[in-house]
A and B are shown apart, each in its own frame.
Chain A
Amino acid sequence: MTALLQVKNLQVRVEEQEILHGLTLTVNAGEVHAIMGPNGSGKSTLSHVIAGKPGYEVTGGEILFKGEDLLDMAPDVRSAKGVFLAFQYPVEIPGVTTMTFLRTALNAQRKARGEAEYLVPDFLRKVREVAGSLNIPMDMLKRGVNVGFSGGEKKRNEVLQMALFQPSLCILDEMDSGLDIDALRVAADGVNALRSPERAMVVITHYQRLLNYIVPDHVHVMSKGRVVKSGGKELALELEATGYAQYEDVAA
């Protein structure tokens, strides 16, 4: 069986500065991986490169998604193939209702996969069902995308999209930032409901706290652009006690 996501010896530069120096990571379907590390260790860079954000130059290594070369695909193609990045700071799009956005995006993905586009009544039924399970009022979906949303609402909107698009790889970039404990639990519950044998998740976070709610199968510690240690979920607890300092020495 080929792994869902294979990152091999990835080297990435941003404006002449190398951020990732040969990062290797393998994620199989059904697994939840947590990536932890101090600020500036390259966690977000990794998530951006996987999703295809412009501005990063890959100088070496490769990323395979279901055995295909991911770096060769445009970001919207990656999305249609099942790569989903939940943003740390979801952007606001004034004047575009969340509903319109969801429908446009979902249909664009279905069209790219050669599937029939959703008709409005079918789509509404589906959204209502998913939003209901996440405790999202339909009123919220009539507002502009993320415009005037609280931190919790923005993250719930990301989870809603994840549930709606059913991607095979979900990358959660610091989902816990800007959330209070209750909002965190709601968002984490939404994510947990999406765990399935066909789907893998990569959870990027600074803190162990999130991992109490979303329990990972594997934990990786990143420092200075490399994975310096991998282990089971107990590694996260260990980190919480000892901090990142010891790993920074390893990388240096």
Chain B
Amino acid sequence: MIHLGKNTTSRIISKGIAAGVSQNTYRGLVTAHRKATNARNFTACDSLLIGDKCGAHTVPYIEAKNSSALFEHEATTSKISEDVLFYCVQRGLSQEEAVGLVVNGFVKDVLQQLPMEFAVEAQKLISISLEGSVG
């Protein structure tokens, strides 16, 4: 994210999912130019872990070349808990359907910004790539 003009604001929402033995890393650079006074950025990085052999890493880079810039960063890491899965399964969802539901809820903020065609595809893609990741 590059801020060049005065009074510019930006927002970054990153949602990362790590399943199996994968590691998920967020790296994001936010800069404010010398003349970009009062530049504002808010960054939220949420990571979701599926299983106990994966990890999430968040590395935010910030380059503020003027002192009036205000950059915020916040990060969360959560795990799909056994309790949530059991709740879904008790209500009749299979283990995989339950994971799919929880994951889609997690990425909803991002997916709903996408155009319809992409959103539907992304949702399917997520459930395909999660197949067999919970055992």
Contacts and interface: CB of A to CB of B under 8 A. Distances in A.
Contacts of B83: 91
B109 A108 contact: no
A75 B90 contact: yes
A106 B88 CA distance: 11
Contact of A105 (B88, B104, B108, B109): B88
Nearest to B97: A108
Given A75-B86, A108-B97, A94 B105 contact: yes
A75 B98 CA distance: 12
A58 to B, nearest CB: 16
Contact of A51 (B90, B93, B106, B109): B90
Contacts, number: 77
Contacts of A144: 105
B104 A96 contact: yes
A91 B94 CA distance: 17
Chain A interface residue bracket vs B: 20 to 34
A65 interface: no
Contacts of A112: 92
B82 A54 contact: yes
Interface in A98-123: 100-101, 104-106, 108-109, 112
A95 B97 contact: no
A106 B102 CA distance: 16
B123 to A, nearest CB: 12
Given A104-B97, A108-B97, A93 B105 contact: yes
B92 A96 contact: no
A52 B82 CA distance: 13
Contact of A95 (B86, B88, B104): B104
B90 A85 contact: yes
Interface in B80-96: 81-84, 86-95
B90 A104 contact: no
Nearest to B109: A95
A6 interface: no
B101 interface: yes
9 tightest Cβ-Cβ pairs between the two chains A and B? A95-B105, A96-B105, A109-B92, A105-B91, A95-B108, A79-B92, A108-B92, A91-B87, A75-B89
14 contacts: A53-B86, A76-B93, A76-B94, A76-B95, A79-B89, A85-B90, A91-B81, A91-B84, A93-B84, A94-B106, A95-B109, A100-B101, A104-B101, A108-B94
